[in-house]
A = this chain, B = another copy of it.
Amino acid sequence: MLKEETLSTPHDCTECPIRHRAVCARCESDELEVLEEIKYYRSFQAGQTVIWSGDKMDFVGSVVTGIATLTQTMEDGRTQMVGLLLPSDFVGRPGRDGSAYDVVATTDLVMCCFRKKPFETMMERTPHVAQRLLEMTLDELDAAREWMLVLGRKTAREKIASLLSIIARRDATLNLRTPQGALVFDLPLTREAMADYLGLTLETVSRQISALKRDGVIVLEGKRHITVPDFNRLLDEAGDDSDGGMFA
């Protein structure tokens, strides 16, 4: 869900139950009735667990507002975040019964849900929905595998830069640009959540953010508000290939 390709697929129809054209009740009018019938909303408070790993999951849906994380936890408490759900991201596993990981709301969260069975029935009748979901899942798989490189081979500094560039890129359309072309955004995560995402400790996250600030790669106002004066510099710090001008 962090890949470039997905950026274009959510659309801005605020009435859409799932903010993707392929499964949008408004934009695919032939599916409207079925979807409306099985649609409902759920909201969660910051910190609440939406689904526990292993629990039976009888719905699919998407984030409307707020942020949730997918995390895996070992018995001794070590946790690894394996995904980040931002508004318009799809949640669910058509054809699978239980959740494979905890889904935790990190801010107050509103989700739009569909009961799973009827949704699957609808899927069988409308092949392009399954195809769209397949493409979305392939994008998530790419994102997960890209993250494996970050976790396995990058240094702490590169990990931080990778995370910042992904967050900045993720909702590039929403981000402000200063007249000088700098990117401005708010970190949606605490230091601890960043650490869980990056396989680091929160102390190391804090130190590396301070270092990037000291070196002028980023400008920090408060703890969350970030300005990136030169996005290609950030990509360079992340060890990624420069993106060939998209943010030049």
Number of copies: 2
A197 to chain B, nearest CB (A): 8
Decide: B83 and A145 in contact? CB cutoff 8 A. yes
Across the interface, name the chain B residue whose C-beta is closest to A126: B127
Is A34 part of the contact surface with B, judged by Cβ < 8 Å?
A: no
A92 to chain B, nearest CB (A): 10
A44-52, A146-154, A180-188: which lies at the B interface? Answer: A146-154
Is A202 part of the contact surface with B, judged by Cβ < 8 Å?
A: no
A93-101, A107-115, A168-176: which lies at the B interface? Answer: A93-101
Identify which of residues 61-94 in chain A touch chain B, using a CB-to-CB cut-off of 8 Å: 70, 72, 74-76, 78-80, 82-83, 93-94
Contact of A74 among B79, B94, B149 (CB under 8 A): B149
A71 to chain B, nearest CB (A): 9
Q: Is the interface of A mostly helix, strand, loop or mixed?
A: helix
Contact of A144 among B95, B123, B135, B144 (CB under 8 A): B144
A122 to chain B, nearest CB (A): 11
Decide: A142 and B95 in contact? CB cutoff 8 A. no
Decide: B149 and A80 in contact? CB cutoff 8 A. yes
- Indicate the member of A95, A131, A239 with the most B CB atoms within 10 Å: A131
Is A38 part of the contact surface with B, judged by Cβ < 8 Å?
A: no
A69 to chain B, nearest CB (A): 12
Across the interface, name the chain B residue whose C-beta is closest to A3: B100
Residues of B contacting A145 with CB < 8 Å? Answer: 70, 72, 82-83, 100-101, 144
Is A199 part of the contact surface with B, judged by Cβ < 8 Å?
A: yes
Across the interface, name the chain B residue whose C-beta is closest to A239: B74
Decide: B95 and A138 in contact? CB cutoff 8 A. yes
A26 to chain B, nearest CB (A): 23
Decide: A135 and B95 in contact? CB cutoff 8 A. yes
Interface residues of A (CB under 8 A from B): 5, 70, 72, 74-76, 78-80, 82-83, 93-96, 100-101, 123-124, 127-128, 130-131, 133-135, 137-138, 140-142, 144-149, 151-154, 198-199, 239, 241
Q: A94-B134, A94-B135, A151-B151 are in contact. List 11 more A-B contacts (CB 8 A).
A: A5-B96, A82-B145, A82-B148, A93-B138, A95-B135, A130-B130, A133-B134, A134-B134, A144-B144, A144-B145, A144-B148
- In the complex, 12 of the A-B residue pairs with CB atoms within 8 angstroms, ordered by the A residue number, are A78-B153, A80-B152, A94-B131, A94-B135, A95-B134, A96-B135, A123-B131, A130-B130, A134-B134, A144-B144, A144-B148, A148-B148
